[in-house]
Amino acid sequence: MRLRHTVVAALVASTLVLAACGGDDDGGDEGSAGPGQISFYTDKGAWEPQFLAVSDVSETSLGLGLDFTGYSDAEQYSAFIRQSFRTDERPDLFTWHTGSELEDLVAEDLLAPTTDIWQAAIDNGDVPEAMQEHFTVDGETYCVPMNAAYWVMYYNKAVFDQYGLAEPTSWAELMTVADTVKANGVTPFYETNILFSFVWFQTLLAGTDPELYNALSTGEASYTDPGVVEVMEQWRGMLEGGYFGDPGDQTAPQDQLKGGTVAMINFGTFLSGQLNSVDMVSGTDYDFFVIPNVNPDLPQTSLIFETGPMCTAKDAANETSALQYAEWWMTDEAQTAWANARGDVSFNPKALVQDQLLADLNEQSASGDYRLLERYFEATPTPVLTAALDGFSAFVTNPGDPMPILETIQAEADAYWSSQG
């Protein structure tokens, strides 16, 4: 039987080391999962039911299941994974991040390559070829996509219907919608000062100048460039103009949308599952639209996507089985089970997504009308991201002159890129 762990937040460093060698139900090493079981670690502890639902499918189809351990604290999870590589009990499969954090593990030769798995999946039409670059370091591909999500604008259909509003197809129309609900006492947009404080920076910059957006992630542009400053001033005007809810409100975004506290939420498509969990019905109680560009002259609409890797540790106890599981994870069978368990889209276009809104978005995203841009969180090097999240959180809480914040972020960017040679 699968061992189902939930690792509590209060772990100290010594506990992290011991956890890598902890016992399972039979008193054996946790890193050595039982027959047909693969040790799987993730910082998505709340997603345990969804992972185990797919594990049930894989046990029947593949003869392999997940021995699940979930963390709720991202920093403690990262510390545990890094510590586990110093022991003989490294995880078979684990979730991680693209960008600099993936590059760090590759530089230490800690990951099993998956280039052949990717090529077979691409040839079979199971994954867009363009996604592979986000998992490739120095010509070799590592990990497979754990999930995919697009960032869109969710809205409360009852609020839109009450004021006779239609889905906007331009930025000007979006702001007209916002002005209409605001004039009727409804806050237009959700905002937060924890973790997702970057979302509106991402939306405004990607929708204004996608080339500049990409250049920031590679160090080819500065956070003090005029285009970035202009976006921050636009954001500041919206914050001071009352377009956003209280960023310190601890009420879950799905509850804010359900209660009509806010009319719209700029969020990843995984919000669909959270809305369903509070008895909002897709297409009846809520809907979403792709956010129009701020700059109407851009040839394609910018669509932010995110994907997180599921990685196989090199020389793990069950490396061969873990790679077999990773290969299966890319298939339409696995992704149909995963997308519907999560209530989200899938990277596999052949997955049979039950939610029609999400299925339509899957089709839209591949139409050629959209320019896919990696989510700011993954596209930004970790030290720069840390400074940016701190700065953006302060900015949405107390909007003011953005230059000191941008200068602080750029100082971190200068230090990071200079260290990369």
pLDDT band at 99 (very low <50, low <70, confident <90, very high): confident
For residue 293, the Cα-to-chain-centroid distance in whole angstroms is 21
Do the domain assignments include residue 364? no
- Spatial distance between the Cα atoms of 373 and 334, rounded to a whole number of angstroms: 25
For residue 86, the Cα-to-chain-centroid distance in whole angstroms is 28
- Spatial distance between the Cα atoms of 172 and 161, rounded to a whole number of angstroms: 19
Q: What is the pLDDT of residue 314?
A: 96
Do the domain assignments include residue 122? yes
Q: What is the pLDDT of residue 320?
A: 96
Query: Residue 85: pLDDT above 80?
Result: yes
Contact 135, 97 (CB under 8 A): no
Same domain, 183 and 257: yes
Mean pLDDT, range 278-286, rounded to an integer: 97
Same domain, 99 and 29: yes
Same domain, 30 and 91: yes
pLDDT tens-place string over residues 23-50: 333 333 334 455 589 999 999 999 999 9
Same domain, 43 and 29: yes
* Bridge partner residues of 306 (DSSP): 149
Q: What is the pLDDT of residue 362?
A: 82
Same domain, 169 and 215: yes
55-71 burial string, b = 16+ CB within 10 Å, else e?
bebbeeebebbbbbbbb
Q: CB count, 10 Å around CB of 237?
A: 11
Do the domain assignments include residue 368? no
Same domain, 276 and 170: yes
Q: What is the pLDDT of residue 396?
A: 98
Same domain, 347 and 286: no
Same domain, 102 and 216: no
How many residues does the structure list for the chain? 421
Same domain, 331 and 271: no
Do the domain assignments include residue 370? no
Do the domain assignments include residue 283? yes
Helix (H) or strand (E) holding 7: strand 5-7
Query: Residue 16: pLDDT above 60?
Result: no
Structural domain count of the chain = 2
Same domain, 165 and 290: yes
Contact 45, 7 (CB under 8 A): yes
Contact 329, 311 (CB under 8 A): no
Could you list the beta-strand ranges (E) of 201-300.
Answer: 262-268, 286-289
7-41 burial string, b = 16+ CB within 10 Å, else e?
beeebeeeebeebbeeebeeeebbbbbbeebbbbb
Radius of gyration of the chain (CA): 22
pTM for the predicted model, two decimal places: 0.82
Do the domain assignments include residue 219? yes
Q: Residue 122: which CATH number?
A: 3.40.190.10
- Spatial distance between the Cα atoms of 271 and 267, rounded to a whole number of angstroms: 7
Do the domain assignments include residue 366? no
Beta pairing, strands 37-42 & 65-71: parallel
User: Which whole-number Å values give the CA distances from 1 to 44, 92, 122, 303, in the listed order?
Assistant: 21, 17, 34, 42
- 11's CB contacts (< 8 A; 6+ apart) are 19, 73, 76, 80
pLDDT tens-place string over residues 215-238: 999 999 999 999 999 999 999 999
Mean pLDDT, range 374-393, rounded to an integer: 94
pLDDT band at 158 (very low <50, low <70, confident <90, very high): very high
Mean pLDDT taken over the chain: 90
Q: Where are the alpha helices (DSSP H) in 109-258?
A: 115-123, 157-162, 171-183, 199-208, 210-218, 226-240, 253-258
Do the domain assignments include residue 396? yes
- Residue among 348, 310, 330, 306 nearest 66 (CA): 310
Same domain, 142 and 15: yes
Three-class DSSP category at 233 = helix
Same domain, 294 and 331: no
Query: Residue 406: pLDDT above 50?
Result: yes
Give the lowest-confidence range in 213-222, 285-294, 354-363, 409-418: 354-363
Return the structure tokens found at 370. 């959209």
pLDDT tens-place string over residues 245-276: 999 999 999 999 999 999 999 999 999 989 99
Query: Residue 201: pLDDT above 90?
Result: yes
- Spatial distance between the Cα atoms of 381 and 260, rounded to a whole number of angstroms: 36
Three-class DSSP category at 279 = coil
22: containing domain: 5-147+307-359
